[in-house]
Structure 1
C-alpha cells in the first residue's frame, strides 16, 4: 500500500503501528499495545477489538483500552450486544455510527442510554473483517461527547490497517491451532510416562516436558549443569555427547535422521533409564541460533502407569474392583502383592483376575499388562 503525502499518517508512524500489530502475536493477550497506540493516534477514548462476537453459548472475546469496568464488559457480553445497532458492517468497509444509524434514533435507544452514555461514548468509527476461514472480528474506535466526530481522514486511516489486521488474525488462528496440537501431543507423551528433552545443536536444553523435569529434579542418572545435560557416569556422558554429535552431523549433511539408544545406570540403585536420541529435521528456510536439533526420549521403568482407573473400567467393562486390580498388576505388582494392597484374599483376587481375563480375552498376566499399557487408557 502506497502512503502519499496526503495520507492521514506518516510512513514512520504507520510502520510503527504495523510492527506493534504483528509483535502482538507473541503476547499472551495479543494486540493490547497496538490498540493503545491506535487509540492515541486517533485521539480516541476507547479502541475495542472483538475477536469473537458474544453468543448465547459463549461470551465474546473482547479486548478494549481505556477503563471500561469488568461489569460493563460483562453486561455487554450478556445483554447489550444483542441491542447493539452497530453490527453487521460489510466486511472491509469503514463506517461511522452516524452513517450507520441516525442520531435521533441512536439517542432514544436503550443501548445508547444505558450502555454508551455512562461510558461517555458518543462517536464511533469501525469495521468488521471476515477472514477467509470464516472468523468474524470487529474493530471499534470511540470518542466522548466532547470529542470531534470521526471524519474522512479517520476512516481512511482505519482502512489502511484492514489488510494487516486480517492477516494478523489469520496468523493468530494458525498459531493457536499449532499450539493446541503441541499441547495435546505433549500431554499424551506425559501420560505415557516418557520424558522428552529437546536440545539445540550445541547440546543446550531448549525444552522439557513434565516427566523429564521430574527426572532432572531427582538428579539420579540425569542432571543439568549450566544448561547442558549430563547422564550417568563420565563415560556415559562422553558416549551421550558423541550421539548428539552424530545426530547434528546428520542434519548438517541432510542425511536420514539418526536414532541411537543408551542405557543409563542410576547411583540410587533404581532401575536403569533408557534413552533414545533422535535428530530433528529442520525446515528448509529455518535459520538462527537455538533451533531444535535433537530430541531425547527417556523411559523410567520405575514410573507407574498413570492410566485413570475410570478410563480402564470403561474401556474393558471392568467392575471397580477389577479395574483397581488391573492397574496394580499393570504397575508391576504380583497377584499376592496386589491382593495385600487391596486388603482382599488371594482367592478373591484370583476370582477378579479370571473375570478380567474373560473380559479382555487374554490368558496370562503378562498379556494383560501389555494390553493395558498399549491401550488408549494411558492417554486418559
Structure 2
C-alpha cells in the first residue's frame, strides 16, 4: 500500500512527460526519502543529441559536469557491470568513499574527482532504467557524508518510483526525439539509403543515422570506444585515426580524408569508409550551419557506389569517360589502379581530373569525394518533401 505522498509523486512523474518538471519530481522523491541530491541521466552514444540529464539541488558547475558526455561515459564505464548484474528496475546501494582510493586514471576515480568530491555526497541509491551496449539510463538519490546510508526499505521505495519513471521517460524520450527531428540539421541524413556518421574535432561521434546505428551495433570490426570514438582492429586503428585527423588539419596537408577498407582478414574486406569534411559551398542545405565536423559514409565492401550518370552530365557536363574515372575514384581505387582499369597513362588520368575539377568548380579530392557521394544513387531516394523544405 503506497502513501498519499507517494501517490502524488507518481502523478507528478507522468505530468512531467508534458510539463518537463523533472527537477520538481526529483525534489519530491529526494525529500520523501531524506536525500540531499537527485539525478536522472540518460546516455545514447549513437545519438548523443538524445541524451539528457536532470539534477536536483546541485550547483551549476556540478549540473554541467553531470550533463557532459565525459561524465556520462565515465558513469557507464564505472557502473555498467553493476547495472547489468542488478538488472533494469532494481535499485543498487553505492558508497562513493572507496572511489577516492582507485587508480588516478580509472573511471571510478575520475568520476569521483569530477562530481562526487565537489558535491560532498557519499551514499547513493540508484536504479537502472535502461541498459544496452551503447545506451543506458538511471535515476538516483544521494546523501552527504554526515548522513546515514540508505536501507533496503529505501531501495524498495525507489524501485516503485523507478517503475513509473521508466514508463514516463520512455514516452518523454519519444516526444523529445519527434520535436528534435523537426528542428534537427541532420534530419535529411535520416532519409539516406547509406550509413552516415558525423564526428567532431575530438573524433567523437555526434550523429549516426539508423543504418549506421545498425552497423555499429552488429559489426565486429567497427564500433565505439569508451570515449565515444570510432574503433576498429588494432592493425587498422592508426590509419582510421590519421584519415579522420586529416579532415581537421585542412589545407595544410596534401590529402584530406579519403577512403579505406576495413578487413576481417587481410584478404576479406567487409566495410568501406569514405571520410570527408563538411564543405560549406557544396554541402546539402541542411548542413550549411555545420563546421569542424567530418562525415563518414559506410558501405559494405562489395557494395560499390554507382553514380547518377544523367545528373552528372546535365549538371556538370561530364563526359562518360570522366564519370568512369569518378566512379572508380569514389570506390577507393588509387591512381595506378584507375589507370590499369581504364588502360590509360597517368598523364591522361591527370588530364581527366583537371577537367573534372574545372567543370565542377572544385579544388581538392576531398571536395570531389563529397560531391560524388552526394550524387551516388544512394542519395536519390530522399523524399521530395524533405528536399524542398
After TM superposition, is the score higher than 0.5? no
State TM-score, norm by structure 1: 0.41
Comparing both chains, which one has the higher relative contact order based on Cα–Cα distances under 8 Å and sequence gaps of 6 or more?
2
Taking structure 2 as the reference length, the TM-score comes to 0.40
Q: Which protein is richer in helix relative to its size?
A: 2
